[in-house]
Amino acid sequence: MPEPRFGYAGTQVDNLKERTPLGFDDEAEAPTTGVALIFDLGNFSQFFTQPDVQEYVTKFLNIIFEALSIVIFGGAEYYTPEKTALKPLLTPVHEKFLGDGALYLWNPTIEETPEFSQNLVNRLWNLQNWYPEVLAKARIHVPVVELPSSIRFGLSRGTVYELTRRDGAKEYIGFCINLASRLQRYCPELNFLASARINVEQSFLDAWRYKRVIAKSMRGFSREVVIVDQSEFERLDSRVRSDLFEEL
């Protein structure tokens, strides 16, 4: 058996400070049904590598999170032509910054889910559709030409588990989080993709011109039924449509 390898600048074990290692309590909480939203900023890595990024990256991110706050916690949609005043949605049980986006997680009841999901779908679609207006606001404060080009949303519903870290903080894992992550990356030409599991009514889809299609090549989620905006879907290149989707 080979000998163990040691770092060239190791520290004596006796001198190490006591600390709580990263880890979790022995058991997760009982599973619940959650709604997970993950968003990602297109070309954020390129934006982040520009000179003097420390002087303006927080200004840009604050403007993005201000827009997400309007979607979730209410306020005037300044980026849409109507500038509709929105009422607050349910408060998320978890919010986590992911570096080039964020995770939001809710635990709506069965009765709350349809209305909550429908409001969230339209608000997210509005934000991604009028994202250039958010960029216009950002340009007042951020002197950079190549700002992140898009904001992409993945929305899903399913099982979620709450984990308690040894330091007392809460973390979450589960099917719906994984699915939301895959959705926001699945088709870069579509900035909004929701799993049909979010439980919205067909009358809502018809009224707002959404449609259900099958995402047939999503890693780890074979043949997932998803919700897309009908007009945006029809504008996709035919090869992209045939490679990634199948009509119901």
Treating both helix axes as pointing N-terminal to C-terminal, what angle do 57-73 and 113-129 enclose, rounded to 10 degrees?
A: 140
Task: Give the pLDDT band (50/70/90) at residue 166.
Answer: confident
Model confidence at 195: pLDDT above 80: yes
State the pLDDT at residue 13.
Answer: 56
State the pLDDT at residue 74.
Answer: 97
Summarised one tens digit per residue, pLDDT across range 87-115 is 999 999 999 998 888 999 999 888 888 89
Beta strands in the chain (DSSP E): 32-42, 75-76, 85-86, 94-97, 101-106, 150-164, 170-173, 192-195, 210-215, 224-229, 245-247
pTM of the model: 0.87
State the pLDDT at residue 129.
Answer: 96
Locate 237 and state its tokens: 């290149």
State the pLDDT at residue 80.
Answer: 96
Task: Give the pLDDT band (50/70/90) at residue 25.
Answer: low
Model confidence at 18: pLDDT above 60: yes
State the pLDDT at residue 232.
Answer: 96
Model confidence at 141: pLDDT above 80: yes
State the pLDDT at residue 118.
Answer: 96
Locate 40 and state its tokens: 């990602």
Summarised one tens digit per residue, pLDDT across range 32-63 is 889 999 999 987 777 667 777 777 888 889 99
Domains of the chain with CATH codes:
26-247 (3.30.70.1230)
Average pLDDT, the chain: 88
Model confidence at 20: pLDDT above 80: no
Give the pLDDT mean for 187-211.
Answer: 95
